[in-house]
Each structure stands twice: as C-alpha cells, then as structure tokens.
Amino acid sequence: MNKTIIGTLVGATLLAGGCGTVAREMERLAVWSSPTPGTPSATSPPGSATASPGPADLKAAAQAALAAVPGSRLISIETEENGTLWEVQVVGRDGTEHEMDVQAGKVVRGPATEGEDAADKAKHRERVAAAKLDYAQAADKILAAVPEGRITELNLDGEAGRTVWESDVVTSNGVKREVAIDAATGTVTRNNGTTT
C-alpha cells in the first residue's frame, strides 16, 4: 500500500512540478517513511503530532543561522513545510537582514541579504539594542507561560511603544496561543488563545 501511495504522490508531483520536484519529494518521503532504529517518529509524516518541532529544534535552527552570519542576532524564526524547515532572519551588526532556511540544524538555503534602506537597518539595530533577552531566553519565557506548548513562530517586533518578542505557540490539545513578552524585562504582555 505504501508503494501505491508513494507512486501516486510521485506521479502527481511530476505533473505539477517536473523531475527536480519529484527527486526532492522522493527524498522527503524516504526520510519519514523509512523507519530508523530507536526513533519512533521516523514513520510519522512531518508536522504530525510525533514529528512536531520542539524547543531543541528551534534552538538548533537558530544556532545554525547565527553561525552562518557571524556576529548577528536572530530577529525571526518560523516553521515551514509542516515543521520540517525553519525560515530564519538574522541581523548583522550594521542592521542588514539575512534570510535563510534551516533544516535538521543545517542551513539549506541562503543566507541571502534583504534589499533594505538605511531606515530599515536603523530600525533593526534599534530593536536589537532594546532587546535585553535574546531569542533563546525569550523562547524559555514563552514556554514557561504556555507549558507543553511548542513555538511555531518567534519575532522581534514593536508593540505599544516597546520592543517585544511575539510568538505563536501551539499546545498539545491544538490551541494556538499568541504570546508576547517585553524584550527588555521578560514580562508577558499578551497571552491569547484560539482553537485551531
């Protein structure tokens, strides 16, 4: 049955995107359809409850992105492709934004610089300077506010005249929470939930 499903997916992918897409899709399917000893989630598709990204995944992706641009600070990280990929933005010392994709703790695309003007770079430098908590400290505070949650997005932003870390957190029972913390003090400024 798995061969039938995979064959159908490959055929549909070939029609939709060509041979390069088929090769990537087959590699992706092979990763989660081939059991690996000692990893019970190896047979779960990406984004399933057992394959969902956790705090260690976020931090590994962030560390890989920061290593790709020495001296940078993380300003945004978000899961993509059902949790198998992280889209990460970091800011260099001069305020230049660099975007990249990270998968399994390795940069797989980028870093690419954004075409920003001097005002954008100044805004980035200002927010980074105002943030006394880095992404890891912010993630820890957010997860303390939403026990058993997993962060799917974390951004350094402005809100009501202060710099905040905004996040989307999904709980184990499927509730999506929007949590913001003051980036200078670590105080929770918002914690709203909606059922997904």
pLDDT score recorded for residue 134: 96
Q: Which two tokens stand for residue 144?
A: 């303390």
pLDDT score recorded for residue 133: 97
Q: Work out the average pLDDT over 133-140.
A: 96
Same domain (yes/no): 72, 21? no
Question: Do the Cβ atoms of 181 and 187 come closer than 8 Å?
Answer: yes
Q: Which two tokens stand for residue 173?
A: 């029972």
Structural domain that includes position 26: 2-34
Is position 122 within any domain? yes
Same domain (yes/no): 18, 103? no
pLDDT score recorded for residue 53: 59
Question: Do the Cβ atoms of 166 and 178 come closer than 8 Å?
Answer: yes
Residue 27 has pLDDT above 60, yes or no: no
Q: Work out the average pLDDT over 97-119.
A: 94
Is position 49 within any domain? no
pLDDT in tens, 38-65: 333 333 333 333 445 566 789 999 999 9
Phi, psi torsion values for 151, nearest 5 degrees: -80, 125
Helix and strand element counts for the chain (H, E): 5, 8
Is position 189 within any domain? yes
